[in-house]
Chains A and B, each alone.
Chain A
């Protein structure tokens, strides 16, 4: 009966380890190293890495920049809220504002071009969830995050806020057109 056990060994550390157990430990170790170096490999060779370019900023500083850019590049207005649709220039800056409860303005981009997209929240934490592509980035108030984005498909994309930001959270939706 297994209930009647041999006396405990004081020095358990020198007990030999079974072959199969060693094998599993070895596999687990090797797999862990693959997991680790895969992230580093992707930093070197992958095309999807989250930018580290971040600045501390203030509401006033950021909205001045963003509003100037919107005023200079608006091509039309949409919806009954008259949201400006701004044509972004390839290779240049795009300024997006997250606030209760909208992603502002609407942006037009071109497929295959790269843009420096600035993300900034005016109040609480918000989420930048690009759908249906499904890229999700946290937007933290006080921090201006510059992410270089290269759309690889044409179409209409939604920016869903996926960080809880109060009672109107579910109506916080933005839009990007890619031509």
Chain B
């Protein structure tokens, strides 16, 4: 094993294995590049679905939509997650990264895979959507690109697991790993299941595209593929919840209300979150209702319960920390006087609220076996998952980026005013966007559809006027969200290129423990917060539950009014 050195960040007290830190930077930058490409594609998608603009022709639209899906849902997020895995292991555990050589294999496989996949899509013969349902066939390069990407990510997961072993053996921490690292472990475990499942279906599909395998069963493909397609978004859930805990700890010194509760909630994720891949097969033929009910409910909704717990303990921890600082007036002084001018905090909190109120509730409704028939493959589906993956994960990762620019990239944030506004522009427009998308879906508008006027069809169907209104609003707020995304890219790229350089800090040859009271200590210490009542959080939680119950039963009412089906 080659030797490495350790840098202590003077601003946070965090220790970076010099080799690991380079990997984190490269993975994060690759992710941000994918975000740029995917963002340009997003603009093409949104400007085409805006009925009065309808920018692209059908062929280009489906190409752009495929690229948008692959670059955002896979490339951006998984690259960034690799950086998160290396950070939460080697930095938070203050140890060296296991096998940095393999970590570079991870990076290059993913990078080459992403480039191959993108070239295959952009060259125009792989417009099969992110899901690439067989028997619709893409160029064999498309599958190869994704396979290389997935294998790379799998290697990254094992580097993370290896780093946990290194830290344990070198005794760089005592007792249990920090909660944030435990969350990353959860994400890593889900990722391993996801990527194995992905390999199991994409390798035969690749061989089929080469003519080696004769046929791929269309239903088996869907079942296996969603083990990759949906579970990969569950990696995000586990990862962004970890980022919430991290940011609450770093910015406000918040400690979890109870280690036990938070970790048990993660444990429920580890066991059951992956089952929700069945959400996409609820309106399919051939899968039994027993299979659908048990899987779609994450084994009796234990993972939903876990999410509700995180949704309570994260703001609860923030409230407890704020109250200890003296913000004790009334129910919500702690929230009003939170550091809203700090994009690290504001982004994180908007991510939390959007994910819970919009993404979470609609996800459960969409994932109810019978209710799914009201929304399957309508515009409701992308509406829902933009609330989880964009408002939830992407915004959380953007906040983490703002935190890491000075610590990891050693730069001051360029354009601080723009950075301050960005979470509000992006999070705010995304919140409206996701709601109007789901509104259009409730009226039946299809997803992945170039022309809601059905040009060229033998007869017509006229959507209700409200559907056109919702799609117009989708266009407007979608463009606004793209502007919010561009602001993030300008701040990030600007900081890396022209931000004021900050000093490196000490370099040493050995690992050192956390300096007491430093940011890094706050991010990793465990133990429960001292008992503080959190009435504001309780009120927010009750509001969430009330909204949830109401919306859930309203949908059953809708269902009871449609044609009888049996």
A residues neighboring B (CB under 8 Å)? 1-10, 12-13, 15, 17-18, 20-21, 24-25, 27-29, 31-33, 35-36, 38-40, 42-43, 46-52, 54, 78-81, 83, 102, 114, 119, 123-125, 127, 129-145, 147-152, 158, 160-173, 175
Contact = CB atoms under 8 A, between A and B. Distances in A.
B8 to A, nearest CB: 18
Contacts of B376: 127, 136-138, 162
Nearest to B215: A142
B526 A12 contact: yes
B258 A151 contact: no
B135 to A, nearest CB: 6
B378 A129 contact: yes
Given A36-B297, A79-B459, A132-B444, A2 B257 contact: no
A129 B377 contact: yes
Given A152-B563, A170-B455, A39 B285 contact: no
A5 B62 contact: no
Given A125-B133, A167-B58, A29 B565 contact: no
Nearest to A5: B525
B472 to A, nearest CB: 18
A114 B564 contact: yes
B97 interface: no
B459 A20 contact: no
A18 B258 CA distance: 8
Given A50-B373, A170-B452, 6 more contacts: A35-B297, A35-B304, A136-B373, A136-B378, A164-B62, A170-B455
17 contacts: A4-B516, A5-B521, A8-B175, A8-B526, A18-B531, A25-B261, A35-B364, A38-B368, A40-B293, A42-B369, A43-B289, A48-B370, A83-B458, A136-B283, A136-B377, A138-B285, A140-B284
B3 interface: no
B368 A39 contact: yes
Contacts of B301: 31-33, 35-36
Interface stretch (B194-202, B402-410, B544-552): B544-552
Interface stretch (B74-82, B305-313, B333-341, B477-485): B305-313
Interface of B: 58-59, 62, 129, 133, 135-136, 174-176, 217-219, 222, 252-255, 257-261, 281-286, 288-289, 293, 297, 300-302, 304-305, 308-309, 312-313, 316, 321, 324-325, 364, 368-370, 373-378, 442-444, 446-452, 454-461, 463-464, 516-517, 521-522, 525-528, 531, 533-534, 538, 541, 545, 548-549, 552, 556, 559-566
B566 A47 contact: yes
A161 B375 CA distance: 13
Counting from the closest, the 7 A-B pairs by CB-CB distance are A32-B301, A150-B564, A145-B285, A158-B461, A162-B446, A2-B253, A171-B456
B370 to A, nearest CB: 5
B564 A48 contact: yes
Nearest to A131: B444
Nearest to A27: B545
**Residue from A17, A29, A80, A134 whose CB has the most chain B CB atoms within 10 Å:** A134
B293 A39 contact: yes
Contacts of B463: 131
A21 B63 CA distance: 48
B63 to A, nearest CB: 11
Contacts of B374: 134-136
Contacts of A166: 136
A52 B289 contact: yes
Contact of B538 (A20, A47, A81): A20
B446 A127 contact: yes
A168 B375 CA distance: 22
B446 to A, nearest CB: 4
Contacts of B222: 125, 138, 140
Contacts of A131: 444, 461, 463
Contact of B370 (A4, A50, A162): A50
A48 to B, nearest CB: 5
Contacts of B525: 5, 8
A32 B312 contact: no
